[in-house]
Structure 1
């Protein structure tokens, strides 16, 4: 199944941001790296859209600096990795108990 993608103008419209802001954020947030089409256009996914909204919240509502938002996202990524490992370990224990 193909994942829905959005052009930069669509993301800008959905988030209320200007395309130049999105292009700038791509340089500041390594997680925000849209795929490029054969013609070189940016193709954002649903995950990118969620990330853009998260960055917007961190910067505009929580009033973090770019560096602060970058650190917060890195912490979130680390936390998600830890939770994934815990989940995997618990699933393995459950399989052992079921066996």
Structure 2
């Protein structure tokens, strides 16, 4: 998985490092790991959240609090969608199993009737 320093995040996102450090304090979703030296190491997920925050704050003109709430809502929607996708996959597997069972019974009847 990709790892980024604060300088790399600043270059990629165009968000100044002091703003990134502030966002870390107020947005619990941004959780860079810190090395023993205190150097921040950001994950791909952190970068995606930072880019989303930048969009919400600078383009959509959200407040920090509004952007934070939107990020939380986005995460909840993703979780709900994931649960729905998993349920659909389970139903699809059950339907496939029933289909093959019915095909098997149909083939058995056809072979016994000949």
TM range (shorter): over 0.9
Q: Match of 1:43?
A: 41
- The alignment covers a number of residue pairs equal to 97
> Structure 1 segments of 4 or more deviating over 4 A?
none
- The equivalences for 1:1-99 within 5 A come to 3-99=1-97
Partners in 1 of 2:65 and 2:30 — Cα distance?
15
Structure 2 SS opposite 1:9: helix
Higher RCO (CA 8 Å, separation ≥ 6 residues): 1
Rg larger in structure: 2
RMSD, matched Cα: 1.0
The runs of 5 or more residues in structure 2 that have no matched partner are 98-114
Partners in 2 of 1:70 and 1:17 — Cα distance?
16
User: Normalising by structure 2, what TM-score?
Assistant: 0.81
SS at match of 1:40: coil
